[in-house]
Amino acid sequence: VPLAGQLGPQPSQPLALFTMGCCPSEEENVARAKTKLVERMMQEEKRKDSEIIKILFLGTGESGKSTIFKQMQILANIDFQPHERENFRIIIRRNMVQAMQEILDKVGERLEGNLKDSAKVVGESDDLEEDVWNAKVSNAIESLWNESKIVKDVFIKRENLHFPDTVSFFFDEIQRITKPGYLPNNNDILRARNRTTGINEKTVIIRNVKFTFTDVGGQRNERRKWIHCFDGVTAVMFVAAISEYNQVLYEDEKTGRLEEALEEFHRIVNDECFDGAGIILFLNKIDMLEVNLKHFPFKDRFGYQGKGTIEELEDVKRYIHDLFLEQVDDPDKRHVYTYYTCGLDTNNIDRVFRACQKSVLTKNLLRMGFV
């Protein structure tokens, strides 16, 4: 019996539980929506990024990789803008002055007497000026190039000189290059030499496929930057100038350029960073190889036993080709796709790049729907 003031047994009722904060506020809903949107955008960017074929150009200085880098822009039908052409005009004229100054330093007192005044004009020109060019300098260079046998001989036998091979093209075209209003055409731009520093990157579409090409400086002091470009690379294009077997490095005149290229290729081709990437080797400057073999036989270089003259061009090409493939520590693990190239020949680079697409890029990119 319940006591006074007490209630008797009550019907069983569920216990109501109250939890504070179960219902998110409007601000929280907005924040969550923004987070999800950002995540979706990041995933979409990651997906798009994975569909871009990333090609890294590597090679030692003067190999011609920056020329091939410019060829990719031409193959993508991207024209050089007027301000770019104006900048290349300055670079081309500066190349000519610097090259002639270097030649004259080598010629020294052997220069023909009637050309001393022209040599003085060139020697006193400040090649660091933005545009060192004027009629006086132009006439002096034209006279030296066309009238001096010694200048031509030094140019041909330039084993320890460091100006670009292509400067002779500009010397021959000096009247066109001197004209008021001159703007370099594509052939001029391909031959212009501006030493690469830092990292240059360009994304283009070639035959409906998006590529990102990265070009980094080839000199020794630039190579420490290479590692920053290694992530996510689809393929490495290593460019080696096989014509420079008789020339030394710009930064170390005790080391041959081809020797350095072989050592650097050995380091790159066996680097674990590129285990998932295709390795493409461009044996470049085959046009200059033909020229050099006429003056500098390959005999006794790198163990070559033949005469090494122009008559053995194909044998020398194959021998250098094999020297590079010998740098691969594990050929069964690492396949190298090798091509002979002339970086100045757009048709040649186009054919070679198409072959690259059909071989190494296709093999590595089936999952992207590349083919």
Return the active site residues: 62, 67, 193, 215, 219
Pairwise CA distance, residues 5 & 225, whole Å:
89
Question: Is the separation of the CB atoms in 345 and 288 below 8 Å?
Answer: no
Beta strands at 199-206 and 209-216: parallel, antiparallel or unpaired: antiparallel
Residue with tokens 């579409």: 205
* DSSP-H helix ranges across 51-81: 65-75
Pairwise CA distance, residues 289 & 185, whole Å:
25
Residues 6+ apart with CB under 8 A from 299: 305, 306, 307, 308, 309
Strands (E) across 136-259 are located at 199-206, 209-216, 235-241
Pairwise CA distance, residues 231 & 251, whole Å:
28
Pairwise CA distance, residues 68 & 87, whole Å:
19
Q: Give, in order, the Cα–Cα distances in Å from 111 to each of 98, 105, 145, 151, 202.
A: 17, 10, 12, 8, 45
Pairwise CA distance, residues 233 & 37, whole Å:
28
Q: Please give the DSSP secondary-structure letter assigned to residue 272.
A: G
Number of neighbouring beta carbons within 10 Å of residue 355? 14
Among 265, 249, 285, which Cα is nearest to 334's? 265
Residues 6+ apart with CB under 8 A from 349: 68, 71, 75, 341, 342, 343
Pairwise CA distance, residues 126 & 180, whole Å:
21
